[in-house]
Amino acid sequence: MKKEIIRKFAALAACFAVCAGTSCGKVERPDDKENVTVSGNDSATADASATTADGSSENQSELLTIPITTDENTSQAATSAGTEELPVSGQPAEDTSSYTASGGDSPQTTSGAAVPSQTVTGTGSSQTASGTASGSQVTDISLTFYEVTLPVGASKMPMVTMSPSTAENKDEIWTSSDEKIATVDSLGNIKAVGEGICIITVKSADNPAVSASVQVTVEAAKEPAVADGVTYIEGILIANKTYALPASYNPGGLTNECYSAFMNLVSGAAADNINIYCSSGFRSYESQQYIYNNYVAMDGQAKADTYSARPGHSEHQTGLAIDCNIIDDSFTGTPEAIWLENNCHKYGFIIRYPRNKDHITGYKYEPWHIRYLGVEKATAVYNSGLCLEEYLGITSQYTY
């Protein structure tokens, strides 16, 4: 045992001799035998047992920090328990976080520098550094609606919010409990197929245990009623690409009910410091024919059909439609357009060709085009989030 102690001290003395000729600086052994950290090169620690004057050994736990020449990316340390590390520079040592290594490079600690908490499990393993947000799973899904009633042929899509916002994978998995009643695509667009009730479910692809559901009730499509060549569904006069008006249909201008409602709308907007005015109201069959033909000559029929109705298919011929303010895309996003979108239903109107519904209505987004339905029906359509075709379960497609 004594020979082993003498051998250790000899090794330690040799190391101190080496240190004296290196850039690590002078090493002083404090009287209190606390851990000494040598600033500069990488360091290692070792236990030493003191030998008393009478030659007996006294096993004292003492931490010495000795410089070791190693690979520049690697340092080695063996630390005995019950000791405290002090930097040689005399500056107070900053707290250092724990470092757990299981394979891979060992940590390097320099005087006065804090090491962030890390977990390393060999090469390519995950690392979480102090102050760096780590990925997380989806823990909750919320929808803009959880119940919906649709006529056969109609469709509607709920908006999905996944939480937390820091979740890395927010992919959705949609399924229907009965595709004979309603189907759903990968984006969550629900389409009514047949009468009945089914459940549409969305799950987190990242965490399938998290889900949300919509109860879908599908009713029979509304049967159109035709009188004098004019089509009505649920009492609503229809003029679109599927349903035409006869050339003889001519109310002579805006209907009294529509005109009165529009004046109320103008007054309501003025109270909110919004100026709304009529730029185009009623158009006869002949007027629409002239306008449409000019657009075809200018842009071709295919493009003209995206923004102008063929004669007999224009809502303006009903006396129930109004184009407000600026009749072009520059109206989009203006305070007046925003006010109309949020408030016109309160006066009995709807935005007839809403955003992202052109594949259903047959026309591009027109924030200036409002259609009178009456307050009750307009509010119902507005609250449904559907365009009129979806709400009534009808199409809008030319057959010629």
Per-residue model confidence as pLDDT tens digits over 232-291: 999 999 999 999 999 999 999 999 999 999 999 999 999 999 999 999 999 999 999 999
Residue 124, CA distances (Å) to 104, 105, 127, 214, 287 in order: 9, 12, 9, 42, 72
- What is the SS3 assignment for 150? strand
For residue 291, tell me if it sits in a domain: yes
> Structural domain of residue 280, as residue ranges?
225-392
Distance in angstroms (rounded) separating the CA atoms of residues 47 and 58:
12
Which pLDDT does position 173 carry in this prediction? 97
For residue 22, tell me if it sits in a domain: yes
For residue 232, tell me if it sits in a domain: yes
Which pLDDT does position 154 carry in this prediction? 84
User: For residue 72, which of 38, 106, 46 has the smallest C-alpha distance?
Assistant: 106
Which tokens sit at 289? 């024919």
Which tokens sit at 316? 């303006």
List the CATH number of the domain containing 331.
3.30.1380.10
Q: Are residues 241 and 388 in the same domain?
A: yes
User: What residues are annotated to the active site?
Assistant: 366
| Residue 8 backbone phi and psi in degrees, to 5 | -60, -45
Which of 219, 253, 269 terminates a domain? The answer is 219
Q: Which residues of the chain have pLDDT under 50?
A: 15, 17-134
Distance in angstroms (rounded) separating the CA atoms of residues 6 and 326:
99
Which of 219, 236, 254 terminates a domain? The answer is 219
CA atoms 253, 255, 256, 258: torsion sign: negative
Q: Are residues 95 and 208 in the same domain?
A: no
Q: Are residues 379 and 245 in the same domain?
A: yes
Residue 319, CA distances (Å) to 32, 238, 255, 256, 293 in order: 100, 12, 5, 9, 21
Q: What Rg do the C-alpha atoms of the chain give, in angstroms? A: 40
Give the helix/strand (H/E) hosting 293: helix 285-299
Distance in angstroms (rounded) separating the CA atoms of residues 388 and 243:
13
Which pLDDT does position 195 carry in this prediction? 95
Q: Are residues 202 and 240 in the same domain?
A: no
Per the CB < 8 A criterion, the answer to whether 32 and 62 are in contact is: no
* First CA to last CA distance, the chain: 107
Per the CB < 8 A criterion, the answer to whether 44 and 65 are in contact is: yes
Which tokens sit at 74? 């690697």
Domains in the chain: how many in total?
3
User: Which residues does 173 contact at the CB level (< 8 Å), separation at least 6?
Assistant: 202, 203, 204, 205, 208
Distance in angstroms (rounded) separating the CA atoms of residues 337 and 351:
10
C-alpha 73, offset from chain centre: 41
CB atoms within 10 A of CB 104: 12
For residue 133, tell me if it sits in a domain: no
Q: Give the burial class of 333: count Cβ atoms within 10 A of its Cβ; 0-12 exposed, 13-18 middle, 19 or more buried.
A: exposed
Distance in angstroms (rounded) separating the CA atoms of residues 177 and 109:
59
- What is the SS3 assignment for 169? coil
Q: Which amino acid is at 244?
A: A
User: For residue 112, which of 95, 125, 100 has the smallest C-alpha distance?
Assistant: 95
C-alpha 13, offset from chain centre: 65
Q: Are residues 206 and 276 in the same domain?
A: no
What angle separates helix 256-271 from helix 335-343, to the nearest 10 degrees? Answer: 120
Q: Are residues 190 and 260 in the same domain?
A: no
Q: Are residues 276 and 237 in the same domain?
A: yes
Q: Give the burial class of 13: count Cβ atoms within 10 A of its Cβ; 0-12 exposed, 13-18 middle, 19 or more buried.
A: exposed
Q: Are residues 88 and 6 in the same domain?
A: yes
Q: Are residues 243 and 179 in the same domain?
A: no
Per the CB < 8 A criterion, the answer to whether 217 and 148 are in contact is: yes
Number of continuous H segments (helices) and E segments (strands) in the chain: 8, 24
Which of 90, 121, 152 terminates a domain? The answer is 121
Per the CB < 8 A criterion, the answer to whether 311 and 345 are in contact is: no
Q: Are residues 254 and 108 in the same domain?
A: no
For residue 135, tell me if it sits in a domain: no
